């Protein structure tokens, strides 16, 4: 068989191989998957629970001859969630297509024994094109989920989404705490006292998230840390140089004084305007009850069930599709997905807003 560009892009097995190759690389981590799992919804609008019970109530101790007390499940606050539409179209560069055509020619001229290597070179070359299409919706959800975790709300404005029409606007009912400037000096003690007071209503927190800047300035760089904790790490050099103290070292101490472990969040996403966005906001500390805080709800895009003639489709997770088409204007790759994050117990998440701190 003589391989051509048309045959290559119309071969679903080849595109699937490229998708698998992309998911094995470490070029781009998908951050949101630490916190959410995919779950399908059959409707674009769905009921969302804002108060999922996170603990089991202790059973009653009764006399063996008495009736059992009647209990009811605690009512759950609810709202309506709506799926967001995600999609982009990419035109493949003519220079890249010429280079790809050269690789295809080498494949056609190769001996049968060498064609496996030649085909592998073709797949390696088009990985970056598929990578852009495959990861784009995941990166958008990274931005949205990062904003939700750090400030409890997320929005996609028109300026941030130049080709999009559907915009996202979500606000979650976190417990927000705004410390006064006087708390900055003894911020670690303040955190410990607040977390102890919150336990009765919010339970045990599994992790305390913050940006690298927040960690360095308000944890390691705090006067209280320098006075009470630095010397526990050993040498005088470490004691004088807070930048050498890592979150894992701090967590060894914090675990002994009743604070949840710190997770420094260093998540960055390339934006459509060419800038890079830090998706976890500085001067915020978020207490999570667990890593998994909800679901990424997905709905099957209409085009996936009613394909456009002439396009070749490949499916990916979360109902997402990738399609390719050749027109008189060029060769295009595009994707479509319908996703939205659904935090199942946002009222069990606590966020400290350090805007009053210097």
pLDDT digits (tens, 9 = 90+) for 9-34: 777 777 777 777 777 665 578 999 99
Among 180-184, 234-238, 353-357, which is the least confidently predicted range?
234-238
| Calpha distance 347→200 (Å, rounded) | 14
- Render pLDDT for 67-114 as a digit per residue (tens, 0 to 9): 555 555 554 456 677 888 888 888 888 888 888 889 889 988 888 888
pLDDT score at 348: 92
Is residue 346 within 8 A of residue 173, CB to CB? The reply is yes
Is residue 210 within 8 A of residue 285, CB to CB? The reply is yes
What confidence category does residue 197 fall into, taking pLDDT thresholds of 50, 70 and 90?
A: very high
Indicate whether 145 pLDDT > 70. yes
Domain boundaries, the chain: 5-51+75-173+292-350, 179-264
Residue 308: alpha-carbon gap to chain centroid: 31
| Calpha distance 355→183 (Å, rounded) | 12
- For 354, residues 6+ apart whose C-beta sits below 8 A from its C-beta are 179, 184, 214, 218, 283, 284, 285
| Calpha distance 279→263 (Å, rounded) | 15
Is residue 133 within 8 A of residue 149, CB to CB? The reply is no
Query: Which residues on adjacent β-strands are paired with residue 81?
Result: 46
- 259: nearest Cα among 271, 267, 247, 269: 247
Residue 116: alpha-carbon gap to chain centroid: 36
- Render pLDDT for 284-303 as a digit per residue (tens, 0 to 9): 999 999 999 999 999 999 99
CA angle, residues 100, 104, 105, in degrees to nearest 5: 115
Question: Quick one: 60 exposed, middle or buried, by C-beta within 10 A (0-12, 13-18, 19+)?
Answer: exposed
Half-sphere exposure in the Cβ direction for 229 (13 Å, CA): 23
Indicate whether 132 pLDDT > 50. yes
Is residue 36 within 8 A of residue 145, CB to CB? The reply is yes
| Calpha distance 190→350 (Å, rounded) | 14
Question: Which residue pairs from 246-254 have beta carbons closer than 8 angstroms and sit at least 24 positions apart in sequence?
Answer: 247/215, 250/219, 250/220, 253/229
5-51+75-173+292-350 maps to CATH 3.15.30? yes
Sheet containing strand 175-177, edge to edge, reads: 175-177, 350-353, 284-288, 207-211, 262-265
pLDDT score at 236: 42
Residue 59 corresponds to which tokens in the numbers above?
């059973």
Helix (H) or strand (E) holding 169: strand 169-171
β-pairing, 36-40 with 294-298? parallel
pLDDT score at 66: 57
Over pLDDT 90: what percentage of the chain?
A: 35
- Helix, strand, coil abundance in the chain, percent, nearest 5: 40, 25, 35
């Amino acid at each position: 068989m003589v391989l051509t560009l048309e045959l290559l892009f119309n071969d679903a097995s080849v595109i699937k191989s490229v998708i698998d190759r992309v998911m094995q690389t470490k070029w781009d981590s998908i951050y949101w998957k630490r916190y959410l799992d995919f779950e399908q919804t059959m409707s674009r609008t769905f009921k969302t629970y804002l108060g999922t019970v996170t603990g089991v109530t202790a059973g009653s101790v009764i006399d063996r001859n008495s009736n059992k007390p009647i209990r009811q499940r605690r009512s759950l606050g609810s709202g309506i969630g709506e799926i967001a539409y995600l999609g982009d179209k990419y035109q493949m560069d003519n220079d890249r297509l010429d280079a790809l055509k050269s690789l295809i020619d080498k494949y056609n001229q190769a001996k049968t024994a060498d064609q496996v290597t030649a085909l592998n070179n073709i797949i390696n070359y088009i990985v970056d094109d598929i990578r852009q299409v495959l990861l784009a919706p995941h990166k958008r959800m990274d931005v949205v989920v990062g904003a939700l975790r750090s400030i409890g709300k997320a929005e996609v404005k028109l300026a941030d989404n130049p080709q999009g029409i559907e915009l996202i606007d979500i606000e979650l009912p976190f417990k927000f705490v705004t410390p006064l400037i006087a708390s900055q000096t003894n911020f670690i003690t303040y955190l410990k006292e607040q977390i102890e007071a919150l336990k009765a209503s919010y339970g045990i927190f599994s992790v305390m998230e913050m940006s690298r800047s927040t960690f360095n300035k308000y944890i390691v760089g705090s006067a209280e840390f320098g006075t009470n904790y630095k010397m526990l790490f050993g040498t005088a050099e470490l004691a004088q140089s807070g930048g050498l103290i890592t979150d894992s070292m701090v967590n060894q101490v914090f675990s002994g004084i009743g604070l949840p472990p710190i997770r420094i969040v260093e998540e960055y996403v390339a934006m459509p305007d060419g800038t890079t966005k830090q998706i976890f906001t500085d001067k915020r500390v978020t207490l999570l009850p667990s890593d998994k805080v909800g679901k990424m709800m997905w709905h099957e895009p209409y085009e996936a069930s009613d394909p456009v003639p002439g396009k070749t489709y490949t499916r990916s997770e979360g109902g997402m599709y990738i399609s390719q088409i050749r027109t008189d204007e060029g060769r295009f790759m595009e994707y479509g997905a319908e996703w939205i994050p659904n935090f199942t117990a946002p009222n069990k998440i606590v966020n400290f807003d350090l805007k009053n701190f210097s």
